[in-house]
Amino acid sequence: MEQLYIYGIEEGLDIAIMYYKQQFPRITDKHIEEIMKLEYWIPIVREQLKNLGTKFTYEYEIKNSEYVGYVDLMIHNQDGTVDVVDFKYSNNIEHYVNSKQIHLYKYYLEQLGFKVRNLGYLFIPKTSIRMKKDEDTYKFRKRLEETLKSQKLQLKKVEYDENKVKKFFEEIKRLEEDNTYEKNETKLCDWCDYKEYCQSNGKIDYMIEEE
C-alpha cells in the first residue's frame, strides 16, 4: 500500500485506484474498503506536501555494488539542498524512527553529490478495523469513514546519526566473514520460501542445488 500512496500522490488518485483494481481478477468488499482508504488519504497527503515544497523527486533509486534503496521522496530546496522523506503506512512509529534506513539514504545520496538538509518520515495511519457481528456493510463502511477522520498524518523529523551507518557496515562485514548461520526466527519467516524446511527440526531433508 505504501507504493500505491506514492503512486497516487505523484500520478493522481484516479490513476492509483485504476492501477490497484487492475491487480485483481475481481474486486471484493475488502478491496473496496482499501480503495476508501486511498480516496481519503491521498488528497490529504498531497495537501501536506504543498507545505513542504514545490519540486519533488519520487522513488529515486540508489544502486551500487553494496546497496540498493529507493528514496520515496526528495524535496528540492531553493538553496540546492534536498530534504528526504520516507512514507510509511504504519502505526509502528518508534520502530521506523529508530531504524537505519533513512540514515543510509543520506549517506549514499551524499556519495552521489546531493546535499541532504533534513530527514524525516511521513506516517500514514494504518486502519485495520473489522466488521462487527451486528454490522452490515453500510454500517461498517460508515464506521470506517469515521475512523479515518479520527486519525492524523504524522511527519517525524529524524536527526542524522552517523553511528547507524557505521553499524550497518559493521553488520555487513560480519555477514561476509561469518561461516556459521544460526537460525533467527522472526515474523519475516512467513515470507521465506524455505520456512517449511527450516522449521521442520530436521524432519525434512533437502539439498539446495548450486546454479
pLDDT tens sequence across 105-160: 999 999 999 999 999 999 999 998 999 999 999 999 999 999 999 999 999 999 99
Quick check: 210 pLDDT over 60? no
Residues whose CB falls within 8 Å of the CB of residue 75, separated by 6 or more in sequence, listed in order: 52, 53, 55, 56, 82, 83, 84, 85
CA-nearest of 187, 144, 6, 192 to 86 is 6
pLDDT of residue 200: 79
Provide the pLDDT confidence category of residue 69 given band limits of 50, 70 and 90: very high
Please tell me the distance from the alpha carbon of residue 195 to that of residue 68, in angstroms, as a whole number: 25
15-38, pLDDT tens digit by residue?
999 999 999 999 999 999 999 999
Domain 2-198 top-level CATH class = alpha beta
Cell numbers found for residue 4: 500505491
Please tell me the distance from the alpha carbon of residue 174 to that of residue 166, in angstroms, as a whole number: 12
Please tell me the distance from the alpha carbon of residue 168 to that of residue 174, in angstroms, as a whole number: 10
Q: Are 152 and 117 in contact (CB under 8 A)?
A: no
Range list of β-strands (E), the chain? 56-63, 68-76, 82-89, 116-124, 154-158
Please tell me the distance from the alpha carbon of residue 74 to that of residue 143, in angstroms, as a whole number: 35
Average pLDDT of every residue of the chain = 90
Q: Are 16 and 38 in contact (CB under 8 A)?
A: yes
Domain limits, the chain: 2-198
Provide the pLDDT confidence category of residue 208 given band limits of 50, 70 and 90: low
User: Other C-beta atoms within 10 Å of 191: how many?
Assistant: 7
